[in-house]
Amino acid sequence: MKPPRFQYHAARTIEEAIELLARYAGEARILAGGQSLVPMLNFRLLEPRALIDIGRIPGLDAITGGPLVTLGAMTRQRSAEESPIVQTALPLLREALRWVGHLPTRSRGTIGGSIAHADPSAEIPLVLLASDGSVTVQGPQGTRDIAAVDLFESLFTTSLVPGELLTRVHMPAMPAGTRIGFDEFARRHGDFAIVTVAVALTPSEDGSTARANPESGPRYAQVRLAASGVGSVPLRLTAAEAHLLQHGTEPASLAAAAELAAAAADPVGDANGSADYRRHLLKVLLERTLESTVRPTAKRLAS
Amino acid sequence: MSDSTHQVSADQLDIPDVDVALTVNGKAVRGRCEPRKLLVDFLREDLGLTGTHAGCEHGICGACTVLIDGRASRTCTTLAVQAAGTQIVTIEGLARDGVMHPMQQAFHEHHALQCGFCTPGMLITAIDFLNSHRNPDETEVREAMSAVICRCTGYQGIVNAVLAVSRQPPTALPE
């Protein structure tokens, strides 16, 4: 249970890290917080020729506010969780971070590392997708932005090409009044989740939630729903979103949206749950989370 | 791990050791080790601080937790070289002048340890948790302490101890 031998480089700049990536031609791994990479090394699941540590690159852990919030790739999950910018502008990320591993793993684990790792059960990639976020990557050819919807290709696989480094993560600030919900089902808190759902409901610009008739429940101008654990990548639940936009949020509408979400999902069963079980979990979790988001009653777990 | 087909490339046979200079329990220390050396092994083998325990060695059990720059962190999923330049507090750094840290005292009073293997990680995690969360309720304490696994399953005493300290006036973290 010790890592294999590897060359170690502490990059001082992004450019140096990219140059090192090129030098090792796909045989080096980027070390950010190490909370996924080091266990994989301990298990000898990976035997890279070199690790390129980006933890000492100045400024790569900065969080900047504005209409588009930017988090440097090396932002520790714990720092994001405690950031006033995140607390105000990215409530969905703030809530989701509470579910990422445990406090001691969040002290070291990073926002960019989790996204680049693209674990299909991870919370941060799910939030990136649900938030219409994007990432900036830099490589020998320069920099480019990749929208979340184009980023996650398969299990542990992103659309970064070899030699590219994820440097920044962007999420649009959620409009004031946005209601968020986040829930996951895992065998124990902090374990890899079996199914996770993320909900963000934004009222129209004047802050109102129109009611077509008294029975239809509040109607939102923007509905964003996503789930993980029901496919090899996080999934945007577009049919359910369209349903809620059109039919409002009374209980029968939420149930119908959850049915639509489950029907659209194509999970793969594994030791943690069959495909049918995951589809069922998605339906139950989504309906429950929508209900508590639209009509909060129970005392929420304080953070 | 033997693998007769595994090819070791030339540059892997010649891997320079790295310098690791850091502050542990208020004292400046330095060492030299392979880049692959885990922080838990560096603390135990190079610095002789065997109070930090290596349990699962993949970030699950929490026995190896120390404070890195004031934050509870797993040392089995952190390389020693990553900790260069940081300030670390281990279990050995909690007592002051022979007086136990209030969390240690509470563990003593509430019978919060049996075999003691998880105790260093429990104490460090509890201290960081209470420093970053004021007046937690029992559910929050249980959720936070689920970061560390006690195989004696003596959780009730641990939860009682953490709750007892949470009701005391805030105490300063050891530097």
CATH classification at residue A31: 3.30.43.10
- What is the percent of chain A where pLDDT is above 90? 87
Last residue of a domain, one of A116, A144, A172: A172
Task: Please state the domain count of chain A.
Answer: 3
| pLDDT of res. A208 | 67
Q: Do A49 and B12 touch (CB under 8 A)?
A: yes
The answer to whether A299 contacts chain B (CB < 8 Å) is no
Q: Flag whether pLDDT at A200 surpasses 80.
A: yes
Rounded to two decimals, the ipTM of the complex is 0.92
The answer to whether residue A301 sits within a structural domain is: no
Last residue of a domain, one of A172, A187, A220: A172
B15 closest CB neighbour out of A5, A35, A108: A5
A148 and A223 fall within a common domain: no
Q: Do B36 and A3 touch (CB under 8 A)?
A: yes
| pLDDT of res. A219 | 81
| pLDDT of res. B3 | 45
| pLDDT of res. A58 | 97
The answer to whether residue A300 sits within a structural domain is: no
Q: Do B41 and A2 touch (CB under 8 A)?
A: yes
pLDDT tens figures, B128-154: 999 999 899 999 999 999 999 999 999
A79 and A130 fall within a common domain: yes
The answer to whether residue A218 sits within a structural domain is: yes
Q: Do A104 and B139 touch (CB under 8 A)?
A: no
A12 and A78 fall within a common domain: no
Q: Do B12 and A34 touch (CB under 8 A)?
A: no
A156 and A68 fall within a common domain: yes
A105 and A184 fall within a common domain: no
B77 closest CB neighbour out of A7, A35, A47: A35
A92 and A163 fall within a common domain: yes
A69 and A119 fall within a common domain: yes
Last residue of a domain, one of A109, A137, A172: A172
CA-to-CA distance for B78 and A77, rounded, in angstroms? Answer: 15
Amino acid at site B58: H
A235 and A256 fall within a common domain: yes
CATH at residue A151: 3.30.465.10
A165 and A230 fall within a common domain: no
| pLDDT of res. A86 | 98
- Which of A185-194, A240-249, A284-293, B2-11 comes out lowest in average pLDDT? B2-11
Nearest-CA distance B73 → chain A (Å): 4
Q: Do A51 and B35 touch (CB under 8 A)?
A: yes
Q: Do B125 and A104 touch (CB under 8 A)?
A: yes
List of chain A residues whose C-beta atoms are within 8 Å of the C-beta of residue B9: 49
CA-to-CA distance for A298 and A81, rounded, in angstroms? Answer: 23
* Interface probe with B: pick from A38, A49, A97, most Cβ of B within 10 Å: A38
User: What average pLDDT is seen over chain A?
Assistant: 94
pLDDT tens figures, A43-97: 999 999 999 999 999 999 999 999 999 999 999 999 999 999 999 999 999 999 9
Q: Answer with the residue of higher pLDDT: B74 or A301.
A: B74
Residue in A closest to B70 by C-alpha: A107
Q: Do B82 and A55 touch (CB under 8 A)?
A: yes
A228 and A280 fall within a common domain: yes
Kindly state the average pLDDT of the residues A11-15: 98
- φ, ψ for residue A166, nearest 5 deg: -75, 120
Cα atoms in the Cβ-side hemisphere of radius 13 Å centred on A158: 27
Question: From the CB of residue A235, how many other CB atoms can be counted at a distance below 10 Å?
Answer: 23
pLDDT tens figures, A136-159: 999 999 999 999 999 999 999 999
The answer to whether residue A1 sits within a structural domain is: no
Question: From the CB of residue A216, how many other CB atoms can be counted at a distance below 10 Å?
Answer: 15
Q: Copy the structure tokens of residue A181.
A: 């919900």
Nearest-CA distance A21 → chain B (Å): 16
Q: How confident is the model at residue A3 (pLDDT cuts 50, 70, 90)?
A: very high
Domain, as residue range, for A154: 63-172
Kindly state the average pLDDT of the residues A164-172: 98
The answer to whether residue A299 sits within a structural domain is: no
**CB-based contact A112:A136 (threshold 8 Å):** no
A23 and A79 fall within a common domain: no
A85 and A36 fall within a common domain: no
CA-to-CA distance for A27 and A49, rounded, in angstroms? Answer: 6
**CB-based contact A44:A67 (threshold 8 Å):** no
B147 closest CB neighbour out of A4, A7, A103: A103
CA-to-CA distance for B43 and B52, rounded, in angstroms? Answer: 7
Q: For each of the domains in chain B, give its residue range(s) and CATH number, in order of start.
A: 10-93 (3.10.20.30), 102-166 (1.10.150.120)
Positions in chain B short of pLDDT 70:
1-13, 170-175
Rounded to a whole number, what is the distance in angstroms from the first to the last CA of chain B? 40
The answer to whether residue A302 sits within a structural domain is: no
| pLDDT of res. B172 | 54
Q: Flag whether pLDDT at A8 surpasses 90.
A: yes
Report chain B residues touching chain A, CB-CB < 8 A.
1, 6, 8-9, 11-12, 15, 18, 34-36, 38, 41, 57-59, 62, 65, 68, 71-74, 76-79, 81-82, 125, 128-129, 132, 136-137, 139-140, 143-144, 146-147
Kindly state the average pLDDT of the residues A112-127: 97
The answer to whether residue A303 sits within a structural domain is: no
The answer to whether residue A137 sits within a structural domain is: yes
Q: Which residues contact A274 (CB under 8 A, 6 or more apart)?
A: none
CATH at residue A242: 3.30.390.50
| pLDDT of res. B7 | 55
B58 closest CB neighbour out of A1, A10, A107: A1
Q: Would you tell me which residues 99-118 of chain A have a C-beta closer than 8 angstroms to some C-beta of chain B?
A: 101-105, 107-108
